[in-house]
Structure 1
Amino acid sequence: MPDRNPIDIPAAARRIDGAVHDSRRHESAHKHVSGEALYIDDIAEPAGLLHVQLGLASRAHARVLSMDLAAVRAAPGVVAVLTTVDIPGVNDIGAGQRHDEPLFATDLVQYHGHPLFAVAAETRDQARRAAQLARVEYEALPAVLDIAGARDPGTLVTPPMTLRLGDAEAALKAAPRTLSGRLTIGGQEHFYLESQIALAIPGEDEDVLVHVSTQHPSEVQHIVAHVLDIPAGAVTVEVRRMGGGFGGKETQANLFAACAALVAKKTGRAAKLRPDRDDDFRITGKRHDFEVDYQVGFDDQGRILGTDMLFAARCGFAADLSGPVTDRALFHADNCYFYGNARMASLPLKTNTVSNTAFRGFGGPQGMVAAERVVEEVAFATGQDPLDVRKLNFYGTTDRNVTPYHQTVEDNIIGPLVEELEAWSDYRTRRQAIRAFNGANPYLKKGLALTPVKFGISFTFTPYNQGGALIHIYTDGSIHLNHGGTEMGQGLNTKVAQVVADEFQVDIGRIRITATTTGKVPNTSATAASSGSDINGKAAQNAARALKARLVEFAAGHWGVDASAVAFTADGVAVGGQLVAFKDVVKAAYMGRISLSATGYYKTPKIHWDRAKGQGRPFLYYAYGAAVAEVTVDTLTGEYVVDRVDILHDCGDSLNPALDKGQVEGGFIQGMGWLTTEELWWDAQGRLRTHAPSTYKIPACGDRPRQFNVRLMRNSPNVEDTIHRSKAVGEPPLMLGIAVLHALSDAVASVADHRLCPQLDAPATPERVLMTIDRLRARAAGCEDGA
C-alpha cells in the first residue's frame, strides 16, 4: 500500500532542494575539481582503438602538384592513410548550405595548416611521427592574409548585409558637427581547456557512434552522414560534457568527427582524433578581427544625429559562420544608443587564413566596441565625460526606441541600471580623485570608464530557435532527463534539472541528467546564442507538464477526487485530504498502464527576420548590464593593472544566481582578455605564430581586477514569458570587458589633458598602449604648434 499521511501542514512548508531561483552548485562541480568528470579522452579505450593524426599543408595558398605518402604508409604502426579518394560521400564539412569547406584539400591548399590527409596508427605517437613523412610538392599562389590585402581584390566569402534607419547621408550632411575614423579590433582564440576531440565506434551495417566535443550534435550528425554517404539516422552523436566551447565547438568539431568516423568505417576499428594544442590552434577558426570605418554626426550637446559604419572582417578561406557573425556585428553596433539615422554595412572578406567562426558574442562584441568608440569620439569632441554622452544617447522607453534593424526596444532598463551602478560604484567621486592622482603623478596614470551592454537574445537564423527534451519517470520515482542542449561548463544541465524538479516538486537529487545524444532528442539546435536555458528549459518544462497532466488525471480517478484536488508539493502529491509519496503515485500509475515518458518541445515566439530588407524582430528580448573599470598605466612602459571593477548585470529573475554570477565573472574576464592581452599574429607566410600558451596570452590569476565586485540586478524579471522570467547570461557579460579598454583609453588620454581622443585599438597590449601614448603626445604637440 502507498504511504499516506494526512495533510496537516501547508503545501509550501518545505521548499524542495534545488528549486528554481536558488543558488545551487554546478551538478558536476565536485567532479571537475576532483578529476572524476569524464571527458572524451577519459573514456576507456575500446579494444583495437586507432589513433588518428592529420597531415597539414605547409603553405597558405598553393596548388598541390604531387603528394607522396609512401613513407607515411610504411611507417611503424600505421594501419591506414586516407585522402579524398577514400571518402565515400562528399568531401565537405562546411557549415550551413554553402558546402565550401573540404574535409581534405585536393589540388588546392587555401591556408597554412589545411588538412591534406589522415593517418591512423596503433599509437598516437606513431600517428604523429608518420604524418611528418609526407612529401608534398606545391606551386605557390598569391596569398591574401589580412583585411587590407583582401580589400584590394574585394573578394567576399559570403553575401554582405546593410541596415538602414532613416536617412544617414542627409543626417550627416545636416549635422552641426561630424567626425570620422577607423577602428581596428583583433580576433581571439577560444582556448578551451579540452581540445577538439572525437572518438568514433563503428557498429553494424552503416551505424556509427561518435563521441565528440561539440556544441552542435545534430550538425555533426549531418556532416558525418554527408561524408560517409549514409542516412543521418545511422549516426549517433553523444556529448556528456565539454571542457569549454565558447563557440569554437559549434562548427569546428565537424572536421574531427567526420575524420574519426571515416577512419572507423574504413577500418572497422574504433578511431580517436585528438590534435596537439598547437595543431588545434592552427586548424580551427577564431573570433573575427574587424576594421570598422565610421562617420558620425552630432550636435554641440553630444546627441548623435546620424551614423554610417562599414564593418570589414577577415573571414578566412570558407564561409563557415561569417555571414551570421558579421550580421550580428551590425545588430549590435548601436549597443544602447539611438542613432536616429543610420547606415551599417558588412564586408565579409575572403583570406588565405583559417575560416573564422563563432565566438562568445558572435560578432556582437565587435559591434559594441565600435559603438563605444563612436560615443567616446563624440565625448572628446564636445569636452564631456563619456558617461554623460552615453546617457544622453540611451534608447528611450516611449520614443527614440527603434533600432537600425527596425525592432522596437520594449524592455529598456539600461537607464536605471546605469544610475544604480553609477551610485553604487561612486563613479563621480572616484573620477575626481583620479584626475587629482594623475595631476600629481608624472608617469603613472589612472583611468576610469563606465560602459553599458544591451545584447539581443535569440538566434538570428530563425529555425534554430527551437528545442526538445525527453523525460522518463521510473517506477521508483527517479527521473531521467535528456534535452537538446550541451553542457560545456556553463551549468545548463543544472538549470534544466532545477526546472524539472520545480515542476514535480521533487528534490533535484531525484533527477538524473544524461548525455546529450541525437538518439534521444533529434534535430537539436546548437547550444549557442545564449539560448540554451531559454529553449531547453522551456522544452523540459513542456515535457514535465505533459507528464504531470497524466498523473493528475490518473490520481483523480484512482483515488476518487476531483482533478483540482490533486497537487504536487514538496512533501508529496496532495490527493484530496491526504499526501501520497511521489514514487507511490508513479508506481500506481504504472500499474494503471499510464505512460511515464514524454517529449517536450518549445519554439521561441514573436521573432521574424527579413535579411534582404534588413528589417524584423530578430530578438525576443534584450539582456542588459554595465561595468565600471579602473586601471593604472605606466606611461614609460605601457604596462598596466586593473585596479577595480564593479559590475551590475541583468539576468531577469535568475534561475540560479550562483551560476549566473559565475558566468558574469568569467565572461567579463574573457572579454577583458580579448581586448587587452590576447593577440593573434600571422607571419608573411601565413603561419600562425601565436599558437600555444607560450605565445598567446589569456588572462592569468594575476591579471584579474584587484577588487572585483559583481551584483545581479534585483527585482527585474523578464517582461517576456521566458523560463521562469529569467534572462540569458552566456554571452552578454563578455562585453562588460569593454569597460577595461575604455578605462585604458581614459588613462592614456591624460597625457594630453583629455583634449584628444586616444583612438586606442584592440587588443590594447602594453606595446599598443605605449605606441598610442607616443602618438597622442605627438598629436598634442602638433595641435599646440598649430595653435
Structure 2
Amino acid sequence: MKRDDDHAPTARTPVGRAAAGNPTVMTQPAMGQPAMGQPAMGQPHAHESARAQVVGSAYYIDDLPEVKGTLYAAPILSTVAHGRLEGVDTQAALQLAGVHGVVLAQDIPGDPVLAAFAHDEPVFAQATVQHIGQVIGLVVAESVMQARRAARQVKLSITPLPAILTVQDALAAESYVLPPVHVRRGDAAQALAQAPHRLQGRLEVGGQEHFYLEGQIAYALPQEQGQWLIHSSTQHPGEVQHWVAHALGIDSHAVRVECRRMGGGFGGKETQAGHLAVWAALAAHKFGRPVKLRLDRDDDFMVTGKRHPFAYEWDVGFDDAGRITGLKLMMAANCGFSADLSGPVADRAVFHCDNAYFLEHVEIASYRCKTHTQSHTAFRGFGGPQGVIAIETILGDIARALGRDALDVRMANLYGLHERNVTHYQMTVEDNILHDLLPQLEQSALYRQRQEAVLAWNAANPVLKRGLGLTPVKFGISFTATLFNQAGALVHVYTDGSVQVNHGGTEMGQGLHTKVAQIVADELGVPLSRVLVTASDTAKVPNASATAASSGTDLNGRAAQFAARHVRDNLAAFVCGLDGCGAGAIRFAGGQVISPKRTRRWEDVVKEAYANRIQLWSDGFYRTPKIHYDKTTLTGRPFYYFAYGAACTEVAIDTHTGESRVLAVDILHDVGHSINPAIDLGQIEGGFVQGMGWLTTEQLVWNDEGRLATHAPSTYKIPATGDVPEHLRVQLWHQPNREDNVGGSKAVGEPPFMLAISVYEALRNAIAAARGDGGADARAPVQLSAPATAENVLRAIGRLE
C-alpha cells in the first residue's frame, strides 16, 4: 500500500506538531526542562538512566565485569513436543575443547521441581519432555560459543507420545493445568431466551512474544560459607531468591539477588527469569565456579512462555439500542505445559471481560488448557487484554447487526454512575469517568465527521477501504492476589545531605526509579539531583512483590514516601526543639528547612542533626487499603481503583492483498495527577504500539510437530517505526485519582495496552465495508482472527477459505 495523501486521516487537519511531520503530539502538559525550585513531582524529568543508556555506560548483566574463573552455560533442549526421555548421550559434547561438563536433573541438591505455586514444573526434564525447547540440562564450558556448540552435540533418546497442541484438542481431551472456573450473575439463560435480538460468535486471539531487548540472563557467583550472589534480569528478585534456595536446598537468607535494571521485561521476567537463575546456580554449585547463562534469541523464543493465546465462544442477547440483556461467554486459555501464572492470568481475563460495561445477566466459563507448548506466562495486561477484546468484539458485532454506530452502542452499555454500577465479581465501580471522557475524545478526534468521511471514501473506492473505531478501557489496579499488594523501602540521608533510596521494585525501562526519586525528593524538600535510587536487592528489602500489575509506583513509591517522611519527621522534631515551635510548623522545600523563626540549608540541618544523634535513615512499609477478594468465588474488591482511557483509530486495508495500515490515532488517557508526564506519555505510546503489534503483525505459529516456527526476528514481526502512524495524538485526562494514591496519580504501565483494541475494531469495520461491496450482508458478524495479518484480513473479507 502506498504512503501518500490518499492515506491521510479523513475529515481533519493534523494537530500541533504532527502537521510538521512529528509522529507524536503531546498536548498536555508541555515538555520542557523543569525550573529550579519546583516540586519534582508533576514535572517531565528525564529518566534517571537515560543519559547513561544513550552513551552506553548503563550496565546490564552481560556488561558486568566477570569474576576470574567464570564459566558459561548453554541449554540442552528437547526436540520432541511430548515423549519419554530414555537417555541423554553427552559423550560427543564432552570431547569438545573447553567443555567442563554437563548439569542434569541428578545434579540438583534440593527439590528437582521448581518452587512455583503449582509445583508442577521440573527444574530439568526427567522422565518425560513436555514441549520442544524444554530444558533437559546444561553444558558448561570456558566460553559462550563453546557451550552452545557443545549443547547441540548432545544426543537425546526420546520416545514420542501423543501431543496436544491446540486449545480445541485440549478442550476435547479435558486437558487442564488448573480446574475450570465459572462465574455467574443473574439468569443468563432466561435473559437470552427473552432477548429481542441474539447473536452467537467465535474468536481466536493469538499469543505474543515479549521480545525484550535484553534477553533472559543470570550470573551466579558462589560466595563464602555457602552463600550466593545472583545477578538476575528479573521483575521479581524475591522469587528468584526463593527458587534458587529451594533448588540448592539451603535457606533463603544465604541467597542474595540483585538487579540494577532490565532491558525490558513486559511480564516475561516475572517468573521465568527464575528458571535461568536456578540453572546457573546449579551449574555454579556443581563446578564450584561462577556461571553465566544468557539465552540467545532463538533459544529464548523456544524456551520461554508467551502471552496466552485465547479462544472464545459466546451467545449474547440485546435490545434495540444494543444494550446487552444476557451473555454466555466461554474463554479458553492456552496455558502451555505447566501452570506458571496461568491461573491469575485467566482470572484477570474473567475480571476484565466486562471492560467498561454493565453485565446484568452473565455466565462465564474459563478453561485453563494444558498443551505441549512453552508454558505461557505474564505479559503486559496479564489477561486483561484477552478479556477486554472479547466484549469489544461482541459490542462491535451488535452495532453492526443493528446498523447503529458502535460508539452509541458502547455508550448505552457503560457502567452507570449511580446504578448499573456493580461488576459481575461484586465490586462497585465508584470512580467511573467514561461518561465524560468518551464524549470529550469523540469531539476532539472529530469522530462523527470522520465517520461520515469514511463512509464517503468507502463508497468511492472499491479497493482501499477505511475503518474507524473508538473503544474505551477500564482497567483494575492491584494484584488480584491480595498478599502481593505490599511494599517496603529504605531511605538513607548522608551527612552531606545526599539521599539514597532502595525499594522492592525493579527498573525495566518504565521509569519506576525516576518516579520514586521524585516522590522522595518532594517529601524531603530537596532537589531531585540529591536523590539516588540504587539496585533492587533482596539483602535490603526482603519479600518484595514482583514489579507487575501496574503497581510498581503505587506500592514502592508510597513505601519510599513513608520512609522519607519518617526521616523528615525526625528532622522536623529536631528543628522544633531548636526553635521552640510545633513540629507541624516546619516546612521542607527548595533545599531548605523553614521554621517560623529562621530558614536553614538542608545540608546544615542534616549535619547538625547527626551531631545530635538524630536518626537519618528509616524504613517504610505500605499495603494497599480497601481490597479483599475470595479466590474460590472470584468475588470481592480485588482492585483499589480503575484506570480509564479511550482511543480513536483510523485504518485502511487493501482488499486485494489484505495489507493494512494504521493511519491516525487519538488517545485520551487517565493517569490521575501525573508524577512524570514525559514518562507517562512514553508508557501510553509504547503500550499502544505494543498492543497494536499483538493485534496486527505478531503471529506465533507452531507446526504440526509442536515446533515454534516463528522464533526469530526474521519470522516474527514486531512493530517498527514505519508502523507508527504519523498522527499519534496523546492527551492526559485532567482529574486526580479519587483514591488516596501517591501524588494523586494512577498506574500507567498496562492500561494503555488495551487502547490498541481500537485498531482491531477499526479493521473489522473496514472489512465489513469491503464485504458490503461484494454483496454480502454488511450487518453479519465480522470473524477476524487476531493478529489481523494480511492472510486473516483476506479470510475475513471472504477471499480465502
* Superposed pair shares fold, TM > 0.5: yes
Distance in 2 (CA, whole Å) between partners of 1:399 and 1:499 is 37
Distance in 2 (CA, whole Å) between partners of 1:546 and 1:16 is 23
Cα distance change of structure 1 residues 755 and 439 upon mapping to structure 2, 3 Å threshold: same
CA contact under 8 A between 2:689 and 2:756: conserved in structure 1?
yes
Q: Does 2:55 match 1:34? A: yes
633-642 vs 86-95, greater mean Cα deviation = 86-95
CA contact under 8 A between 1:294 and 1:309: conserved in structure 2?
yes
SS at structure 2 position matched to 1:160: strand
The alignment's C-alpha RMSD in Å is 1.3
Distance in 2 (CA, whole Å) between partners of 1:226 and 1:237 is 14
Letter in 1 for 2:91: A
Which residue is 1:771 aligned to? 795
Which residue is 1:412 aligned to? 432
User: Which of 716, 725, 743 lines up with 2:762 in the alignment?
Assistant: 743
Distance in 1 (CA, whole Å) between partners of 2:577 and 2:136 is 66
Q: Does 2:94 match 1:76? A: no
Distance in 2 (CA, whole Å) between partners of 1:165 and 1:457 is 23
Distance in 1 (CA, whole Å) between partners of 2:701 and 2:250 is 40
Moved over 6 A (4+): none
Q: Write the mapping of 1:248-327 to structure 2, written as runs, cut at 5 A.
A: 248-327=268-347
Distance in 1 (CA, whole Å) between partners of 2:629 and 2:106 is 41
CA contact under 8 A between 2:402 and 2:779: conserved in structure 1?
no
User: Which of 36, 53, 72 lines up with 1:51 in the alignment?
Assistant: 72
Q: Write the mapping of 1:632-651 to structure 2, written as runs, cut at 5 A.
A: 632-651=652-671
Which residue is 2:15 aligned to? none
CA contact under 8 A between 1:93 and 1:254: conserved in structure 2?
no
Which residue is 1:429 aligned to? 449
Shift of residue 17, structure 1, vs aligned partner: 5.3
CA contact under 8 A between 1:482 and 1:513: conserved in structure 2?
yes
156-165 vs 45-54, greater mean Cα deviation = 156-165
Q: Does 2:468 match 1:448? A: yes
Letter in 1 for 2:98: G
Letter in 2 for 1:679: Q
SS at structure 1 position matched to 2:562: helix
CA contact under 8 A between 1:571 and 1:579: conserved in structure 2?
no
CA contact under 8 A between 2:522 and 2:589: conserved in structure 1?
no
Shift of residue 775, structure 1, vs aligned partner: 5.7
1:192-217: CA deviation from partner (whole Å, max 9, x where unpaired):
00000001111012211001100000
Q: Write the mapping of 1:575-724 to structure 2, written as runs, cut at 5 A.
A: 575-714=595-734, 716-724=735-743
CA contact under 8 A between 1:161 and 1:611: conserved in structure 2?
no
Q: Does 2:23 match 1:23? A: no
Shift of residue 604, structure 1, vs aligned partner: 0.4
CA contact under 8 A between 1:165 and 1:406: conserved in structure 2?
no
635-644 vs 165-174, greater mean Cα deviation = 165-174
Which residue is 1:524 aligned to? 544
Q: Does 2:759 match 1:759? A: no
CA contact under 8 A between 2:771 and 2:798: conserved in structure 1?
no
Which residue is 1:785 aligned to? none
SS at structure 2 position matched to 1:648: strand
Letter in 2 for 1:481: V
Q: Which runs of 5+ in 2 are unaligned?
A: 1-33, 773-777
Shift of residue 549, structure 1, vs aligned partner: 1.1
Corresponding residue pairs, total:
763
Shift of residue 312, structure 1, vs aligned partner: 0.6
Which residue is 2:108 aligned to? 87
Which residue is 2:84 aligned to? 63
Distance in 1 (CA, whole Å) between partners of 2:628 and 2:179 is 20
Shift of residue 571, structure 1, vs aligned partner: 4.5
Q: Write the mapping of 1:83-232 to structure 2, written as runs, cut at 5 A.
A: 83-96=104-117, 98-232=118-252
Distance in 1 (CA, whole Å) between partners of 2:37 and 2:132 is 55
Distance in 1 (CA, whole Å) between partners of 2:582 and 2:35 is 25
721-730 vs 568-577, greater mean Cα deviation = 568-577
Which residue is 2:357 aligned to? 337
Shift of residue 558, structure 1, vs aligned partner: 3.2
CA contact under 8 A between 2:696 and 2:786: conserved in structure 1?
yes
Which residue is 1:554 aligned to? 574
Letter in 2 for 1:324: P
224-233 vs 699-708, greater mean Cα deviation = 699-708
User: Which of 582, 594, 597 lines up with 1:574 in the alignment?
Assistant: 594
Which residue is 1:729 aligned to? 748
Shift of residue 613, structure 1, vs aligned partner: 2.0
Shift of residue 611, structure 1, vs aligned partner: 1.9
Distance in 2 (CA, whole Å) between partners of 1:16 and 1:78 is 59
Distance in 2 (CA, whole Å) between partners of 1:435 and 1:561 is 71
Which residue is 2:10 aligned to? none
CA contact under 8 A between 2:697 and 2:788: conserved in structure 1?
yes
1:343-371: CA deviation from partner (whole Å, max 9, x where unpaired):
11210000100100000000000100001
Distance in 2 (CA, whole Å) between partners of 1:309 and 1:473 is 55
Letter in 1 for 2:232: V
CA contact under 8 A between 1:159 and 1:323: conserved in structure 2?
no
Letter in 1 for 2:257: V
Letter in 1 for 2:616: L
CA contact under 8 A between 1:17 and 1:508: conserved in structure 2?
no
Shift of residue 14, structure 1, vs aligned partner: 8.4
**TM-score, normalisation: structure 1:** 0.96
User: Which of 358, 365, 376 lines up with 2:385 in the alignment?
Assistant: 365
User: Which of 477, 489, 492 lines up with 1:472 in the alignment?
Assistant: 492
Distance in 1 (CA, whole Å) between partners of 2:495 and 2:246 is 41
171-180 vs 412-421, greater mean Cα deviation = 171-180
Cα distance change of structure 1 residues 14 and 311 upon mapping to structure 2, 3 Å threshold: closer
CA contact under 8 A between 1:21 and 1:657: conserved in structure 2?
yes
Distance in 2 (CA, whole Å) between partners of 1:512 and 1:452 is 38
Shift of residue 94, structure 1, vs aligned partner: 4.8
**TM-score, normalisation: structure 2:** 0.94
SS at structure 2 position matched to 1:471: strand
CA contact under 8 A between 2:115 and 2:246: conserved in structure 1?
no
Letter in 2 for 1:221: Q
Distance in 2 (CA, whole Å) between partners of 1:682 and 1:245 is 23
Distance in 1 (CA, whole Å) between partners of 2:169 and 2:264 is 33
1:314-354: CA deviation from partner (whole Å, max 9, x where unpaired):
10110000000001001000001111111112100001001
CA contact under 8 A between 1:217 and 1:239: conserved in structure 2?
yes
SS at structure 2 position matched to 1:307: strand
Distance in 2 (CA, whole Å) between partners of 1:438 and 1:467 is 54
Shift of residue 752, structure 1, vs aligned partner: 3.1
Q: Which runs of 5+ in 1 are unaligned?
A: 1-12, 779-787
142-151 vs 664-673, greater mean Cα deviation = 142-151
Distance in 1 (CA, whole Å) between partners of 2:680 and 2:365 is 34
